[in-house]
Chains A and B, each alone.
Chain A
Amino acid sequence: MAKKWGQRVRNWMANKMDLPQDVMMDLPRITMIGHIHIYVENHRGLLSFTDKELRLLLKQGQLLIKGKGFVIKTILPEEILLQGKIDQVIYLNEDAGGTK
């Protein structure tokens, strides 16, 4: 419950004080360049990686990227740059029934 409250306060602050959401709420910032590059900041680690799929752990939930011919161009503790043909970017939220 306390976590929820904290979340709410942060959300409220972000809204009212015009602060960027990703800084306030530890959300991933995802930048895509067309469908060839995807740049994810603020992830919490690599869960699985094949040339058709990349699964990243987030603070809340997971991020699933599907496509073809994936190559991780760079990987740092909290950043990842993926190259390939990206078809889908899917959020898998724990709250909404966990991983599917």
Chain B
Amino acid sequence: MKNQWIEFLYGRVTVRVSGKGLERFLNVLTRNGLHIWHVKRHGTETITFKMRVQDALKIRRFARKSECKISFLQRSGAPFLLKRLLKNSGFMLGAAAFLFIILLLSNMIWGIEIKGAKPATEYQIRKELDKMGVKIGKVQFLVANVEGIQRQLTNNIGALTWVGVELKGTTYHLQVVEKNEPKKPEQSSPQNLIAKKKAIIVKMFVESGQKVVDIHDHVEKGQLLVSGAFGQEDHPELTAAKGEVWGETWYKSHVELPLVTKFNVYNGKEEQKHSLLLGKLEIPIWGFGKPAFKHYETEKNVHKIRFLNWDLPISYVNKTIREREVYERSYSNSEAEKMAVELAKKQIKSSLDEDAMIKDEKILHKAMENGKVILDIHFKIIENIAVGQPISKETPDDREINNH
């Protein structure tokens, strides 16, 4: 038996032959190597059979010699199917467009939900997102990835402590934690103010409570500054001592700064490459060839393409190749010293409260070793040294006595 599928691929024709000497005609056809199958008789003078399309072209030659009339009834098989498909290509086009539109819509941003933010912050976030291009109706893979959005938001909006960005389907969920400047809890329970550091008191501002020390006093760490207990010695009235006690404190810091430093910096030149990732196979779309840079770093962003609910095994990959340059910074000795002092100041400031200020600095020790400037600096700083310490109700008297 012949393979019907081959015939299907080539296309087949149903032929009707009528006349006399049909059998002879069939014999002629078979002897000349034409494939015939499904021969059926209809009445005395008609038969139908099927044959290949290529053979159907030759049949006329044989038919002329015989006394038969031939007509072609039906055509089937792949070529004719294809022809029909082409004729109805509108449907195909429609189906393709439909799939494409669904694909596009599946990869759009359809919602941005912000949770945990005050209206003002939310507005700010939305504005920032707009600036980034994260808007409803944008295509997801033309927008920075989730980490990037997260980074940019936390960097650009001061009121945010942390923002968690999550992409669920077509919606961005933003979980926001605001920098709630923790309001100093209204201390209503009795407390004393004590020194958190060794200092000389410069300025005092007491809201409530009884001053125990005075300006220009030298206090040790943990020493009572403002007492929350006043009144009679035996039955003191307890309140929450409140106030600010500014003291001069001392810090020592040690900094080392190399004279020559090498930095890896980007010089702003970059190339973009786009490709499609099919499984593991990467097909470049735009940006061919090796990058023209000698030193470079590649940032790769992979965006999964989604279809309705599913992730397709196709991803859109966007590569940014940035040129890197080595930049050498060198200081002279005096410059280095200045920079080192600045550095030390910055370090100190970061460890202090915001309202503290540096009154004076003094270089204690200066050395130049292995191409480094080594400085020991002494800082005089004025800061609020008062911290609350609750008075336990059982033994208020003990504490009073101890502290005196």
Contacts and interface: CB of A to CB of B under 8 A. Distances in A.
Q: Do A and B bind each other?
A: yes
Interface of A: 45-51, 70-77, 81
Given A72-B49, A74-B2, A81-B1, A46 B37 contact: no
A53 B47 CA distance: 14
Nearest to B2: A74
19 contacts: A45-B27, A46-B26, A47-B23, A48-B23, A49-B22, A49-B26, A49-B39, A50-B41, A51-B41, A70-B41, A72-B40, A72-B49, A73-B37, A73-B38, A74-B1, A74-B37, A75-B37, A76-B35, A77-B33
B36 interface: yes
Contacts of A46: 23, 26-27, 30
B269 interface: no
A77 B28 CA distance: 9
Interface of B: 1-2, 22-23, 26-27, 30-31, 33, 35-41, 44, 47, 49
Contacts of B27: 45-46
Nearest to A48: B23
Contacts of B2: 74
Nearest to A83: B38
Nearest to B22: A49
A65 to B, nearest CB: 14
A73 B4 CA distance: 12
A81 B40 CA distance: 13
A48 to B, nearest CB: 5
Given A74-B37, A76-B30, 15 more contacts: A45-B31, A49-B23, A49-B26, A49-B41, A51-B40, A71-B40, A72-B37, A72-B38, A72-B49, A73-B1, A73-B38, A74-B36, A75-B26, A75-B36, A77-B31
B103 to A, nearest CB: 47
A-B residue pairs, 3 tightest by C-beta: A72-B39, A45-B27, A46-B23
Contacts of A71: 38-40
A97 B263 CA distance: 114
Contacts of A72: 36-40, 49
A46 B22 CA distance: 10
Contacts of B41: 49-51, 70
A75 B39 contact: yes
A100 B292 CA distance: 94
Contacts of B36: 72, 74-75
Contacts of A70: 41
